[in-house]
Amino acid sequence: MSGSLRGAASIVGIGLTDFGELPGRSKMEIMAEAVDLALKDAGLTLDQVDGVFGADFAEAMQGLYMAEYLGLHPKYIDGTNIGGSAFVNFLQSAASAIQAGLCEVALIAYGSNARSAGRGGRGPGPVMYETVYKPRQPINSYALAASRHMYEFGTTREQLAEVAVAARKWAQLNPKAVERDDITVDDVLNARPVVDPLTVRDCCLVTDAGSALIMVSTDRAKDFPKKPVHLLGVATETTHSQIACMADLTRTAVADAAPRAMEMAGITLDDVDVVELYDAFTINTVLFLEDMGFCPKGEGGNFVSGGHIAPGGGLPVNTNGGGLSCVHPGMYGMFLTIEAVEQLRGQAGHRQIDGAEIALCNGNGGLLSSQVTAVLGADGTL
């Protein structure tokens, strides 16, 4: 086992702000000043940074905030918060990413006004520029994206409802799914409005659930009791944190992440047997299928209609019933991955896609902010 990062990566720039008390400065401002200094020290410019690493005690998604604050769309992002050791841990993850060719210029940064925050320092960070209006998040951001998709492409409420109906039909084939009663397009349209244009049936469930998976090297994987499922490709793209900073509300970072993941896997869309994507809201499925390339931009509403992504349709999507009808315990990403594994092992029961060998998975994070596409393959696809 090689397992070595020795000689994989080196530090070429550093930046330090003044220390002590920095009254009237937000922690993001202090962070960005240090970034500017480090870039100058290295003779680099901000647009050359393609990997972002950061953590903060108060912000659950500091990596996203940092990237948005700096106007970056990183290909590699790590916001793992394991306490004060996080920034040494980032040396490991940054070197691993650089060694693997996933990013070239890694930015590790931190800013804090821990001393002066209570005395003229600014507290909550950039989120305050949206929370002051009391949007009902996260649904509000997705509702805004839906309004824009309807305006630009003529997508209808009925077409969004078709996503929820298809998910329910898959859920009815899955004994573990939480919501399995029949629903119709009219049921979705007539459900309680939450944030127009979306109703409660356009929204994922709120459930309890646990999930876990184990990965080992592919060399070792053949020695385990169950047939292995291989990671063939994976790619990340981040465009923003808050919805007002999403440059194009109808084009998500999937349009960048999915082609890179498929290139790494050496596959095309024609090879995909099943799609598992993060359907927190009905608009997600429309956006992600378009951005993966299954249909041209703007035609997603039509693509998901008429049962095309439901059981027996042309493209199996969210075969467990998805976040809309199967399970959604706040962070759904692992549940879609595990459904892909069940399909590729051939153990998905009544919802099994015959001969499924390639699954295209997409995790969505934040407010359409970060997208991670993974290609999983059944044993024999390597």
Partner 1 sequence: MTESGNELPAGAGPDAIYAAGLAAGEFKIQKCGGCGEHVFYPRQLCTHCGSADLGWVTASGNGTVHATSVVRQRPEAGDHYNIALVDLEEGPRMMSRVVDIPADQVKIGDPVTAFIGEIDGEQVILFRPAGDGS
Candidates 71, 175, 266, 296: give the one binding partner 1 (CB under 8 A).
Answer: 71
- Does residue 370 contact residue 236 with C-beta atoms inside 8 Å? yes
Candidates 97, 105, 195, 229: give the one binding partner 1 (CB under 8 A).
Answer: 195
Distance CA 202, CA 194 (A): 9
- Does residue 112 contact residue 27 with C-beta atoms inside 8 Å? yes
Told to check if 56 binds partner 1 by CB under 8 A, we report no
Sheet holding 106-108, edge to edge: 76-78, 51-53, 106-108
- Shortest Cβ 139–partner 1 spacing (Å): 9
Candidates 9, 15, 29, 95: give the one binding partner 1 (CB under 8 A).
Answer: 29
Report residue 260: phi and psi, to 5°: -70, -40
Told to check if 249 binds partner 1 by CB under 8 A, we report yes
Give the interface segment with partner 1, choosing from 84-92, 147-155, 230-238, 266-274 (CB under 8 A): 147-155
Give the interface segment with partner 1, choosing from 18-26, 258-266, 292-300, 347-355 (CB under 8 A): 18-26
Candidates 99, 196, 226, 331: give the one binding partner 1 (CB under 8 A).
Answer: 196
- Does residue 213 contact residue 331 with C-beta atoms inside 8 Å? no
Number of residues that bind partner 1 (CB under 8 A): 48
Give the interface segment with partner 1, choosing from 28-36, 78-86, 212-220, 228-236 (CB under 8 A): 28-36
- Shortest Cβ 289–partner 1 spacing (Å): 21
Tokens of 341: 């594994």
- Does residue 330 contact residue 311 with C-beta atoms inside 8 Å? no
Tokens 């498929």, residue located: 262
Residue 244, classified by CB atoms within 10 Å of its CB into exposed (0-12), middle (13-18) or buried (19+), is: middle
Q: 274 forms bridges with which residues in the sheet?
A: 359
Q: Give the chain's radius of gyration (CA, Å).
A: 22
Which C-beta is closer to partner 1: that of 249 or that of 359? 249
Applying CB under 8 A, the residues found at the interface with partner 1 are 22-26, 28-33, 35-36, 39, 45-47, 69-71, 120, 122, 126, 129-130, 132-136, 140, 143-145, 147-148, 151, 192-197, 242-245, 249
